[in-house]
Chains A and B, each alone.
Chain A
Amino acid sequence: AQSVTQLDSHVSVSEGTPVLLRCNYSSSYSPSLFWYVQHPNKGLQLLLKYTSAATLVKGINGFEAEFKKSETSFHLTKPSAHMSDAAEYFCVVSGLTGGGNKLTFGTGTQLKVEL
């Protein structure tokens, strides 16, 4: 079985300050992990993915995440928040079932960026 826990349902930062969105995972396999972003009434967009290559993964829009096996964590960071980063972020773990890969989603973290 696999699961993800997003430790904060809401995070608020000021524009220009760092962003940290926390995620812990549980998986029976060596997992693939993803972060997706969803703006209001839009589909989900892939920010970045970890698939057992480099543990520090760089994504789009200046985001990055570090896979830490000892801590079972995959936290998302960005050095400087922008107003356009305000959205909901989902941490996701991938696993197999019945021939198709399945994604298990965290409950999401709503990021608010203030002036």
Chain B
Amino acid sequence: SQTIHQWPATLVQPVGSPLSLECTVEGTSNPNLYWYRQAAGRGLQLLFYSVGIGQISSEVPQNLSASRPQDRQFILSSKKLLLSDSGFYLCAWGRTGTLYNEQFFGPGTRLTVL
């Protein structure tokens, strides 16, 4: 069966500090991978998605970047955090090769920028 991991689970960082959130998927190959942000009282916003190693598509201009160094690893980064980067970050994976597939979500990382 497939599992998706995210870490850390919670993170408190000062404004201006760097960020690295990691997501890994087990039990599947060549997944589509996604990063979402869920701000307090708002819905889910798609930040990045990737259909393969080194292939990143950005949905929203922002202070963040993403990388996919390995097939089942997806990293969300920032060089300098802003207060507005606070939120709940969710990684998800979906199967390739079939249209309109559902996505499977990780447990999330709660980021607080102070």
The answer to whether the Cβ of A74 comes within 8 Å of any Cβ in the partner chain is: no
Q: Is the interface of B mostly helix, strand, loop or mixed?
A: strand
Closest approach, in angstroms, between the C-beta of B93 and any C-beta of chain A?
A: 11
| Chain A contact patch, size range | 20 to 34
Q: Do residues A108 and B90 form an inter-chain contact, with CB atoms below 8 A? A: no
Cα distance, A61 to B9, chains bound together (Å): 26
Instruction: List which B1-47 residues lie within 8 A (CB) of chain A.
Output: 32, 34, 42-44, 46
Using known A-B contacts A43-B108, A101-B94, determine if residue A94 contacts B88 with beta carbons closer than 8 Å: no
Q: What A residues does B51 contact at CB under 8 A?
A: 98-100
Contact of A46 among B46, B96, B100, B102 (CB under 8 A): B102
Q: Considering only CB atoms, which chain B residue lies closest to A95 in the complex? A: B100
Q: Considering only CB atoms, which chain B residue lies closest to A48 in the complex? A: B102
Q: Do residues B32 and A101 form an inter-chain contact, with CB atoms below 8 A? A: yes
Using known A-B contacts A41-B110, A44-B105, A101-B94, determine if residue A94 contacts B43 with beta carbons closer than 8 Å: no
Q: Is the interface of A mostly helix, strand, loop or mixed?
A: strand
Contact of B108 among A42, A49, A102, A108 (CB under 8 A): A42
Contact of B104 among A46, A90, A101 (CB under 8 A): A46
The answer to whether the Cβ of A96 comes within 8 Å of any Cβ in the partner chain is: yes
Q: Do residues B43 and A102 form an inter-chain contact, with CB atoms below 8 A? A: no
Q: Do residues B57 and A105 form an inter-chain contact, with CB atoms below 8 A? A: no
Closest approach, in angstroms, between the C-beta of A27 and any C-beta of chain B?
A: 10
Q: Do residues B100 and A51 form an inter-chain contact, with CB atoms below 8 A? A: yes
Contact of B32 among A44, A95, A100 (CB under 8 A): A100
The answer to whether the Cβ of A11 comes within 8 Å of any Cβ in the partner chain is: no
Which residues of A are in contact with B by a Cβ distance under 8 Å? 31-32, 34, 36, 41-46, 49, 51, 90, 94-96, 98-103, 105-108
Knowing that A43-B106, A44-B92, A100-B50 touch, tell me 13 more A-B residue pairs with CB under 8 angstroms.
Answer: A32-B102, A44-B44, A44-B90, A46-B102, A95-B100, A96-B100, A100-B51, A100-B57, A100-B94, A101-B99, A101-B103, A105-B44, A107-B43
